[in-house]
């Protein structure tokens, strides 16, 4: 397990304990869900978050729209590289609040 996957697991473990978050999978990657909806996942060494359009994460160096396969961009999903692993916990919380608000 890479140090970045370990960071993902720590974030997930904390959210499972403090919220109604469950662990699952999406596109063969580990993900975190609330109300059966994914809000964050660890995909090929990066974290991917479902975020509102005005969140600013896409402006981070190396970040961008998530494409599970080339040319198949997922609207609202931002891939954030491990260079910004120090922001993954905060982005996970933002994504959790955002996805939860979509089902309220």
pTM: 0.94
Decide if pLDDT at 78 tops 80: yes
Asked whether the beta carbons of 76 and 99 are under 8 A apart, the reply is no
* DSSP code, position 52: -
Q: What is the mean pLDDT of residues 51-70?
A: 93
Q: What is the mean pLDDT of residues 43-70?
A: 94
Residue 36 to residue 38: CA distance in whole angstroms:
7
Of the pLDDT bands very low, low, confident and very high (cuts 50, 70, 90), residue 19 is confident
Who wins on pLDDT, 77 or 69? 77
> In angstroms, how far apart are the furthest CA atoms of the chain?
36
Of the pLDDT bands very low, low, confident and very high (cuts 50, 70, 90), residue 104 is confident
């Amino acid at each position: 397990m890479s140090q970045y996957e370990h960071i993902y697991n720590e974030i997930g473990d904390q959210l499972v304990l403090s919220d109604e978050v469950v662990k699952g999978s999406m596109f063969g990657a580990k993900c975190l869900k609330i109300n059966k909806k994914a809000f964050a996942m660890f995909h090929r060494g990066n974290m991917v978050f479902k975020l509102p359009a005005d969140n600013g994460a896409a402006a981070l160096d190396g970040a961008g729209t998530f494409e599970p396969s080339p040319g198949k961009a997922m609207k609202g999903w931002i891939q954030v590289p491990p260079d910004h692993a120090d922001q993954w916990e905060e982005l996970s919380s933002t994504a959790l609040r955002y996805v939860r608000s979509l089902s309220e």
